[in-house]
Amino acid sequence: MANAWRWFHQLGSPKYLFQKTGQWLPWIWGATLILLAVGLYYSLWASPIEVRQGQGHTVRIMYVHVPAAALSMIGYIAMAIAATVGLVWKMKMAFAVVRSIAPVGAAMTFLALFTGSVWGKPTWGTWWEWDARMTSELLLLFLYLGYIALHASFSDRSKADKAGAILAIVGVINIPIIYFSVKWWNTLHQGYSITEKGALNPAFQTPLFLMLAGIYLLFAALVLMRLRAEIVLRNQKSRWVIEWASGKTLERGES
């Protein structure tokens, strides 16, 4: 426990976090590429078409749609958790994490909407349906973009961080409220999900779980990449950043 606590504190140090993420990234990318390669093989080639509901090949869209939709939610929750850590423990790196998740989460939300729409056309016969999930996802996209717009509107980064953190927390309290409101408002949906028993043929599970794992890791890798840039951005004047950028050790007292 004490060790875990110390590790948590070390992660608050920009230098340590930068170095550690630099060490992790190649491994994460390796695992991501392997999982995605196998996942794509299964999802585009070695899996059957859907017959029972007559979706045919369009079931393959699910293998990118479901991970994107899941990550759009998880990303926002992760932002709110990091924001809470930042506000409660006054940990500056947590704010950098919040800022780094935002663009990747927004991209996932956009992809969930796009693939959902493309899936909807052949399945429901329409590009857009105001159903609970798609509508919530659209509002989630607005929440992400709102955070990014708010963070970009301050000249003082520490104010931007704190204001953004409060917005992320307020947003996360609202996500379930928005979801249930929208669901109540229009209960029309296909009812197709992995948690529903019997809805998902085991033959579809292999590609789905592979793609879920692959895209989760890809998400983490992208967030860490953005985080590394964010750390450098925030510590441009630090000695270790200059040493890293110029590739040489500075003498004591210099800079």
Partner 1 sequence: MSSWHEFIFMGKHGAFVWSSYFMTLVVLLGLFIGFRMMLKSLKKQVEVAAVAPDSKKQKARKLKVSQPD
Partner 2 sequence: MILTLLKRELKVARRNWIGLAIPLLFFIIVVSLFPFAVSPEAPVLQQLAPGVIWVAALLAMLLSLEQFYRSDYQDGSLEQLLLMSSPTSVAISKILAHWLLTGLPLVVLSPLLGVLMQINHGVEHSAHTWVLMLSLVLGTPTLCLLGAVGMSLTLAASRNGLLVSILIIPLYVPVLIFGASTVTASLENMRYNGELAILGAFLLIAIVFAPFASGRALKISVG
Instruction: Provide the binding-site residues for partner 1, judged by CB under 8 A.
Output: 44-47, 49, 56-58, 60-61, 64-65, 68, 103-104, 107, 110-111, 114-115, 118-119, 121-122, 158, 218, 222, 225-226, 228-229, 232-233, 236-237, 241-242, 244-246, 255
H-only helix segments in the chain: 2-11, 14-44, 62-89, 92-124, 132-152, 157-185, 202-234, 239-246
Lookup result for tokens 């794509």? 40
Whose Cβ is closer to partner 1: residue 118's or residue 175's?
118
List Cβ neighbours of 174 (8 Å cut-off, separation of 6 or more).
Answer: 143
Say how far apart CA 235 and CA 50 lie, in whole Å: 52
Instruction: Decide whether 11 or 178 has the Cβ nearer to partner 2.
Output: 178
Q: Does 118 bind partner 2 (CB under 8 A)?
A: no
| DSSP type of residue 249 | P
- Cα separation values, 169 from 44, 166, 179, Å: 38, 5, 16
* Residue 1, SS3 per DSSP: coil
Considering only residues 169 through 208, tell me which ones interact with partner 2, judged by CB under 8 A: 169-171, 173-174, 177-178, 181-182, 184-185
Nearer to partner 2, 181 or 238 (CB): 181
- Contact flags string 11-30 toward partner 2, x per CB under 8 A: --------------------
Report whether 72 contacts 137 (CB < 8 A): yes
Residue 121 interacting partner from partner 1, partner 2, none (CB closer than 5 to 8 Å by kind): partner 1
Say how many residues make up the chain. Answer: 255
Minimum Å gap between C-beta 97 and partner 2 is: 19
Using CB distances below 5 to 8 A depending on partner kind, what does residue 12 bind out of partner 2, partner 1, none?
Answer: none
Query: DSSP per residue over 46-68, as a string?
Result: SSPPB-TTS-BGGGGGHHHHHHH
Applying CB under 8 A, the residues found at the interface with partner 2 are 139, 142-143, 145-146, 149-150, 153-156, 159, 162-163, 166-167, 169-171, 173-174, 177-178, 181-182, 184-185
